[in-house]
Structure 1
Amino acid sequence: CFCLPDPGVIRVVVFEDDDAVLPCSFGSVNIEHQVFDWKKDGQEVFIYDSGRTYGDGLSGQDKQFEGRVEHFPDLLKSGNASIVIRRTEVTDSGSYTCDSVQNGVSTTQSRIELIVDPVLIEGRPLILAAAPEPYVTILDQTNDRALLQCEVRGIFLKPEVEWQDSSGNILPAEEPQVSERGGRYSLQTTVTKTDRYRCVVT
């Protein structure tokens, strides 16, 4: 079961060498001229300051993340401070915070627990079950809604994937997307934060 606590910690699970999107929303406020700061267990991951970022006028980023972290410039107007970590490593696993900074005072907007699972067999994850465990990611969210993605990996026969609410009702979703890398299927849906949801794979 995947729950959306508000406030709470969002759990993001990816496989090593995949990209990880860490969501952070300021509501509908335009943040193009604001400051937001991403940290991992005290390490500096990414900072945005009125158009400047690490490598573009700002220094101080931890070497672990140099050249691998990006934000979404086109989404700043809608309050989206999410970032993507490219080519994740197992050592990227940990607790992340997204803070807004105003007049030197930081306020946490999002808390993320990132888990990067190692790839175990010939570049493919080791999955023993007939129906692999799905991985859920929040791609975007507002105060009352969230865009969820359910991803099934490491299989080569197309699975049946669907989103259900707490009553077992199937939710409307986009057509499943097949990764170019093969063995990966994803299904997206937009939900409200007033219920509990789960991704079912058969």
Structure 2
Amino acid sequence: MMLPPWLESLLSTTFFTGCSIHGASARSECNMYCLDCAGTGAFCIYCRETMHPHHNVIQIRRSSYHDVVRVGEIQRFLDVGGVQTYVINSARVLFLNERPQPRGGAAAAGKAAGGRACEVCGRSLLDSSRFCSLGCKVAAIKNNRNLHLIHGAAAAAAVVVEKEEEKRHLKMYRSTSPPPRTTSNARRRKGIPQRAPMGT
């Protein structure tokens, strides 16, 4: 999966702060994020109306003090397959970032119950998902890409070494001249061989 340029910025953005422009208005907490203006940070609903009227904007929500986004909103722009989803207030959501582990270790509890665990942080999962949050999926993709880069560099180095070995062998065989021909007549036959005449 290719990571869109706005994704890492979204994951590192702080939401639910008061808007510096519309702080006096009701519902002015910054819980919106513009995918077209990535990197501009969170903004409120009033900023959306004035500064991002026709842009692709998603709304961030809160669940247990953690940022979530509705699957229906984000899956139009991003493949969220493999990320654990939850139903909160009758809407399917996913967590943006990894959450702190509960005491006792969720991975141990999940494995003891025969369940699955997040491939990045080890948090227990409810179904066959691979990651507990969008952030964990991004971390896995980046880690995998780095592994490919490492393996790619190692393969390229191996090819260079192989070519150098081949060159050395060619040089060695070229520098070895064939054995000299012997000009000694010691073993040559004398005269032309004749067949014995046939008896009549």
Fold in common (TM above 0.5) = no
More helix by share: 2
* Structure ID, larger Rg: 2
- What TM-score do you get using the length of structure 1 for normalisation? 0.28
